[in-house]
Amino acid sequence: MAIIDGLLQELEMEAQTTRRVLDRVPSDQLGWKPHPKSRTLGELAMHVAVVPAAVARLASAPSPAQIPEFVDPPCPQHASELVPTLDRTIAAAKTTLAVLDDEALTGPWRLMRGDRELFTLPRAAFLRSVMLNHWYHHRGQLTVYLRELNVPIPSIYGPSADENPFV
Reported pTM: 0.94
Distance of CA 12 to the CA centre of its chain: 11
- What homologous superfamily is domain 3-148 in, according to CATH? dinb family like domain (1.20.120.450)
Q: Which residue has the higher pLDDT, 166 or 81?
A: 81
pLDDT tens figures, 21-61: 999 999 999 999 999 999 999 999 999 999 999 999 999 99
Give 78's pLDDT tier (boundaries 50, 70, 90): very high
User: Which whole number is the average pLDDT over 107-111?
Assistant: 95
Cβ-proximal residues to 23 (8 Å cutoff; 6+ apart), any chain: 82, 83, 154
Helix (H, G, I), strand (E, B) or coil at 119: strand
Residue 69 has pLDDT above 90, yes or no: no
Task: Report the distance separating Cα 91 and Cα 56, nearest Å.
Answer: 11
